[in-house]
A and B are shown apart, each in its own frame.
Chain A
Amino acid sequence: MSKRIDVSGLHVYYGDFLAVEDVSMTIEPRSVTAFIGSSGCGKSTFLRTLNRMHEVTPGARVQGKVMLDDQDIYAPEVDPVAVRREIGMVFQRPNPFPTMSIYDNVIAGARLNNQRMPKARADELVERSLRGANLWDEVKDRLNRPGAGLSGGQQQRLCIARAIAVEPAVLLMDEPCSALDPISTLAIEDLISQLKENYTIVIVTHNMQQAARVSDVTAFFNLAGTGKPGKLIEMGETNKIFTKPDKKETENYITGRFG
């Protein structure tokens, strides 16, 4: 189920603006990879190229190769919709569908694709996904209430439930805990550790402790300077990155010294 991602020589553009330059990396299956780096260095942008969400922005394009196992997802014959079914995503800001109930939000992936599902299976999927996102106990009595009526943190967990309900091979998470309290954050981190048994997980975070706690591999991005594109500076075992990184830049960032 879980798949490897292999990126080589990837340049990411918004129109003429080069946002991320020349990234090559391998993301191993059944592992958690964390992206860290200062704001605006292109972590979200790069993450979105991994499931072809980047090209949804008008004028946005990429150069280079992204392999999902043996398949180049940017090959001309590849359908981006199929790629996104394989590689799910949780966004920085929670975005439940306002027209749908909590229940419908969770099985939105199936419903929106017109997939028919027996009621019992749908119920089971909803419960499993909500439990997986640590939200079940809070919402089990009001599954038919609108999803937009939840608190911000609950909405984010609803979005995680929605993403894992389609059972992707890879799960991309863009700062999934930035709106959450410490307890929900821990719950999500536990969830991530469980999910990595079956999925490949990539998580963007500004929280060093979180990166250290959940990830097996850490990638550090940085800007070469203002107006310059973001770059992958260093990538390696989380332990190593956080204790004795190869690059001075990485060490400065991790220990909180800049410049």
Chain B
Amino acid sequence: MATTTDPTSTGAAGGAHLRNAGLFGGTLPRWVPPALLVVLAGAVAGVLLAAGAFNAPLLAVLTTVAYAVAITVASAIVENRRRATDRLVTAVVYTCFALAMVPLVSLLWTVLVNGLQRLDGYFLSVSMNGVTPSMDAGGVYHAIVGTISITGFAALISIPIGLMTAIYLVEYGRGRLKQAITFFVDVMTGIPSIVAGLFVVALWMLLFGPGNTNGAAGAISLSVLMIPVVVRSCEEMLRLVPNELREASYALGVPKWLTIVKVVLPTAIAGITTGVMLALARVIGETAPLILTAGSSAVAINWNLFDGQMMSLPVFIYSQVRMGGAINYERAWAAALTLILVVMLLFLLARLVSRFFAPKLGR
């Protein structure tokens, strides 16, 4: 039987009778799966080269299939059926994971390769003021300024409103009003971004007359998109706080609002920060509403949300691609890379913030 096929546990002297009792089946040594994978990859590559049909995707697919079959068969022979199933499923899960990573890695790689051609200190620190579209000059500074001030202002509006709505829904709301708010938040989550932009354009038209849109209008349209996301994620996080903590606080004679501020929010703060950051990341790449509101032709640096047009990174990418020249594409890729970097920076910041606020486990 399978009692002698176990090369790894030959030293277990006292285990002999246990092995005979079937507690120790045979085991494939740890090095077998990776070695098998390498050997199969080599073999498949050899066959493909010989057939003159070598390409990387084909190699990956064939190797994966061959590996799944080989490891299952090997395991079925040396080990047992349960282990064989386990190995097969493990192979399938890893394959799915790799498949999911393909578009992500490929996207990051493309943006990195194309973006790095133009991304440098100069590109980041100058605007497009006085630069004609085909000139080998100009940069993205004005768009960074726009993105930061517009999304910053949008966050300033959305986070308090969203968080307080979530607190209302979880801690105070009951009956009809709560249902109505939940319903409208759900509806708002589904609003197409361009509709949010149109809404703000119409609003500004009513308030300030035609042609007066500015950065603030862009921020408002983004917050229309952002508020429901903030409400949803904060609501979820607040619900995760165990009721026992609230009761413990009430039982100490702490009023409800202090319980929320000092017990519920601190307990949920890490999740809330993450949720808010996800909402920010969702709106920072919005293009359509900003084209309608903050404008798509601004070239100069403008820090003032309430005066004049404002460029932003996604709109910059859009308008450069629209121009269609080689240098415009370079600018668009570099701006795309900048946008990704800004988002990553935001997430880093969120991590730091939530670590700063989160339960102090050490000290």
Q: Tell me the A residues contacting B by CB distance below 8 Å.
A: 51, 53, 56, 58, 81-82, 84-86, 88-89, 91, 93, 95-99, 101, 108-109, 111-114, 144-146, 148-149, 159, 162-163, 166
Contact present for A112 and B254 (CB under 8 Å): yes
Q: Which of A113, A162, A163 has the most CB of B within 10 A?
A: A113
Are the C-beta atoms of B253 and A84 separated by less than 8 Å?
yes
Q: When the two chains form the complex, which single residue of A82, A89, A98, A145 contacts B267, counting CB atoms closer than 8 Å?
A: A98
B359 and A108 form a contact (CB under 8 A): no
Q: Which residues of A contact B341 (CB under 8 A)?
A: none
Q: Return the CB mask of B14-38 against A: 1 if under 8 Å, else 0.
A: 0000000000000000000000000
A102: min CB distance to chain B, Å: 12
Contact A112 B258, beta carbon cutoff 8 Å: yes
Question: B3 → chain A, closest Cβ, in Å?
Answer: 44
Take A112-B262, A166-B253 as given contacts and tell me if A159 and B248 are in contact as well, using a CB distance cutoff of 8 Å: yes
Could you tell me if A81 and B360 are in contact, using CB atoms closer than 8 angstroms? no
What's the nearest-Cβ distance from chain B to residue A93, in Å? Answer: 7
Residues in A with CB closer than 8 Å to B242 are 95
Tell me whether A91 and B248 are in contact in the complex, defined as CB-CB below 8 angstroms, given that A99-B267, A112-B263 are known contacts. Answer: yes
**CB-CB < 8 A to B246: which residues of A?**
56
Q: When A93-B244, A95-B244 are in contact, do A144 and B363 touch as well, CB less than 8 Å? A: yes
Interface centre among B174, B245, B266, B359, by most chain A C-beta atoms within 10 angstroms, is B359
CA distance A97 to B246 in the complex (A): 9
A112 B245 Cβ-Cβ under 8 A: no
Q: Are A112 and B251 in contact (CB under 8 A)?
A: no
**How far is the CB of B79 from the nearest CB of chain A, in Å?**
40
Do the beta carbons of A97 and B263 come within 8 Å of each other?
yes
Q: How many chain-B residues does the 8 Å CB contact rule pick out? A: 25
CB distance from A215 to the nearest CB of B (A): 22
Cβ A101 vs Cβ B360 within 8 A: yes
Does B64 lie at the interface of the complex (its beta carbon under 8 Å from any beta carbon of A)?
A: no
Shortest C-beta distance, A96 to chain B (Å), equals 8
| Contacting residue for A82 out of B244, B253, B262, CB 8 A | B253
Shortest distance between the CB of B67 and any CB in chain A (Å): 44
Output the nearest chain A residue to B266 by Cβ-Cβ distance: A99
A51 to B251 alpha-carbon distance, docked (Å): 8
Tell whether, in the assembled complex, residue B253 and residue A85 are in contact, meaning their CB atoms are under 8 Å apart.
yes
B255 at the interface (CB under 8 A from A): yes
Given known A53-B251, A89-B251, A163-B251, contact A98–B244 (CB-CB < 8 A) = no
Q: A53-B247, A91-B247, A97-B263 are in contact. Are A146 and B361 (CB under 8 A)?
A: yes
User: Who on chain B is nearest to A51 by CB?
Assistant: B251
Known: A84-B252, A112-B258. 9 other contacts (CB 8 A): A56-B246, A89-B251, A97-B263, A97-B267, A99-B263, A112-B263, A113-B255, A146-B359, A146-B361
A257 to B259 CA separation, bound complex (whole angstroms): 45
Contact assessment for B252 and A166 in the assembled complex, using a CB-CB cutoff below 8 Å? yes
Which partner residue on chain A sits nearest B359 by CB separation?
Answer: A99
Instruction: Tell me the smallest distance from the CB of A202 to a CB of chain B, in Å.
Output: 13
Asked if residues A88 and B244 are in contact (CB atoms below 8 Å), the reply is: no
- CB pair A163 B252 closer than 8 Å: yes
Instruction: List the B side residues contacting A162 at CB < 8 Å.
Output: 248, 252
- In angstroms, how far is the closest chain A Cβ from the Cβ of B266? 4
The complex places the Cα of A178 from the Cα of B127 at a distance, in Å, of 69
Pair B174/A112 contact, Cβ less than 8 Å: no
Cross-interface CB contact of B254 among A98, A113, A159, cutoff 8 Å: A113
Q: Which of B248, B251, B255, B358 contacts A97 (CB 8 A)?
A: B248
With a cutoff of 8 Å between Cβ atoms, the chain B residues found around residue A84 in the complex are 250-253
Contact partner of A109 among B244, B252, B263, B361, CB < 8 A? B252
Within the complex, which residue of B247, B259, B267, B358 is in contact with A112, where a contact is CB–CB below 8 Å? B259
Q: Smallest distance from the beta carbon of A130 to chain B beta carbons, Å? A: 16
Contacts A/B (CB < 8 Å), 9 sampled: A56-B247, A84-B251, A84-B253, A88-B252, A89-B251, A97-B263, A109-B252, A113-B255, A145-B363
B80 at interface (Cβ–Cβ under 8 A)? Answer: no
Which residues of B sit under 8 angstroms from A98, Cβ to Cβ?
245, 267, 359
Interface residues of B in 204-252 (CB under 8 A from A): 242, 244-252
With the chains together, A243 CA to B262 CA distance in Å?
A: 49
The complex places the Cα of A223 from the Cα of B319 at a distance, in Å, of 75
A111's nearest neighbour on chain B, judged by CB, is B262
